[in-house]
């Protein structure tokens, strides 16, 4: 095992796959000469050259469409958005072409493409740069959606995404690129669609994903001081979702809290709530509680932003609520 940064895990995954398959290439804004906006493609231009690590104009609709077209013609592109907020410019290509082409062509065209980049808030960047669109993309049949929370998961899942014959949305975080974690030096791949139990527990299940899961870890440590045992499930893959892992945990703990950095209406938490109440209702000893951002655009003010984002205190409050502790 070697300790590396999240950005290095992303770079290693892309580089290792590109060495094996010349049809794989990386395209996006500043991915080449600048080594990536967040240095997640550092050194790749030097190794693979400008034909396979391609800088683009600020034109997400254009280079997303080029990626989809090249995937239809036998390539396996990795399209980087500087942030998924900017993917909205190219969302027509993602939703109307990448996600639907396999079905609309009667299986004649696979679209082996990865759209990757950071999601959700990253500090004081304003409302238009602080949005989480996981639920938007997960709502669309034909897309797989992955949101890793650590370097180990990021590398293993990105390699799986690059090898997948269907379009994959791979969402990272600007605030995690510097995070460090142990990653095997030998090759490994993590299966898409499998959640991971990050912490075993018996009193309450907490489901989360992405960078916000760190708040669940903080809360669990604090609650353990009061002999409250939290089981934490990292979804890792949003679609397909590992419903079985969640259901089995709820059957054990009988309580569920969901932590998600997203607006409260029609999000991933809502879907999980429906799945659990329909498949494990009789096991619940308390109503499910979901924790989300405030139902407003993200504020710029640091004071308001702190109130807008979920935190470990919110998780502690929710856990005590489902356990009927004052």
* Beta bridge partners of residue 194, listed in sequence order: none
Kindly state the average pLDDT of the residues 225-231. Answer: 97
40-74 pLDDT per residue, tens? 999 999 999 999 999 999 999 999 999 999 999 99
- What distance, in Å, lies between the first and last C-alpha atoms of the chain? 44
Contact 232, 199 (CB under 8 A): yes
The confidence score (pLDDT) of residue 36 equals 97
Measure the CA angle with vertex 178, ends 175 and 183; round to 5°: 120
Coil vs helix vs strand at 44: helix
Coil vs helix vs strand at 255: coil
Kindly state the average pLDDT of the residues 202-215. Answer: 98
The confidence score (pLDDT) of residue 318 equals 98
Q: Residue 238: which of 204, 275, 276, 272 has the closest Cα?
A: 272
The confidence score (pLDDT) of residue 73 equals 97
The confidence score (pLDDT) of residue 16 equals 98
pLDDT band at 210 (very low <50, low <70, confident <90, very high): very high
Q: Active site residue: 8, 29, 60, 215, which one?
A: 60
Coil vs helix vs strand at 287: coil
Kindly state the average pLDDT of the residues 187-197. Answer: 98
Tell me the average pLDDT of the chain.
97
Kindly state the average pLDDT of the residues 145-174. Answer: 98
Whether 197 has a pLDDT exceeding 90, the answer reads: yes
Q: Active site residue: 8, 29, 80, 129, which one?
A: 129
93-112 pLDDT per residue, tens? 999 999 999 999 999 999 99
Whether 326 has a pLDDT exceeding 90, the answer reads: no
255-290 pLDDT per residue, tens? 999 999 999 999 999 999 999 999 999 999 999 999
Q: Is 129 annotated as catalytic? A: yes
Kindly state the average pLDDT of the residues 79-93. Answer: 98
How large a percentage of the chain has pLDDT more than 70? 100
The confidence score (pLDDT) of residue 68 equals 98
Q: What is the DSSP letter of 185?
A: S
The confidence score (pLDDT) of residue 250 equals 98
Cα–Cα distance measured from residue 31 to residue 42, given in angstroms and rounded to the nearest whole number? 8
Coil vs helix vs strand at 307: helix
Q: Is 271 annotated as catalytic? A: no
Whether 87 has a pLDDT exceeding 90, the answer reads: yes
What is the sign of the dihedral through the CA atoms of 310, 314, 316 and 321? negative
Size of the chain in residues: 326
């Amino acid at each position: 095992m070697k300790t590396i940064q999240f950005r290095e895990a992303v770079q290693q995954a892309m580089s290792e796959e590109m060495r094996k398959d010349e049809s794989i290439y990386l395209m996006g804004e500043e991915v080449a000469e600048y080594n990536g906006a967040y240095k997640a493609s550092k050194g790749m231009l030097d190794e693979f050259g400008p034909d396979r690590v391609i800088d683009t104009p600020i034109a997400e609709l254009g280079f997303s469409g080029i990626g989809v077209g090249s995937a239809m013609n036998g390539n396996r592109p990795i399209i980087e958005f500087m942030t998924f907020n900017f993917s909205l410019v190219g969302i027509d290509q993602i939703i109307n072409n990448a996600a639907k082409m396999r079905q609309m062509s009667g299986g004649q065209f696979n679209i082996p493409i990865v759209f990757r980049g950071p999601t959700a808030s990253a500090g004081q960047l304003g409302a238009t740069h602080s949005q989480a669109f996981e639920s938007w993309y997960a709502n669309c049949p034909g897309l797989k959606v992955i949101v890793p929370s650590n370097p180990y998961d990021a590398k293993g899942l990105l390699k799986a995404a690059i090898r997948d014959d269907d379009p994959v949305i791979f969402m990272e975080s600007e605030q995690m690129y510097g995070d460090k974690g142990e990653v095997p030096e030998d090759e490994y791949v993590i299966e898409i669609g499998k959640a991971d139990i990050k912490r075993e527990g018996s009193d309450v299940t907490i489901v989360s994903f992405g960078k916000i899961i760190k708040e669940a870890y903080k809360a669990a440590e604090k609650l353990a001081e009061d002999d409250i045992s939290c089981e934490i499930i990292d979804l890792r893959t949003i679609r397909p979702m590992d419903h079985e892992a969640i259901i089995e945990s709820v059957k054990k703990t009988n309580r569920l809290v969901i932590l998600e950095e997203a607006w409260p209406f029609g999000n991933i938490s809502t879907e999980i709530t429906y799945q659990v109440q329909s498949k494990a209702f009789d096991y619940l000893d308390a109503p499910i509680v979901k924790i989300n951002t405030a139902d407003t655009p993200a504020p710029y003010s640091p004071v308001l932003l702190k109130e807008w984002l979920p935190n470990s205190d919110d998780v502690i409050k929710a856990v005590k609520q489902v356990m009927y502790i004052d």
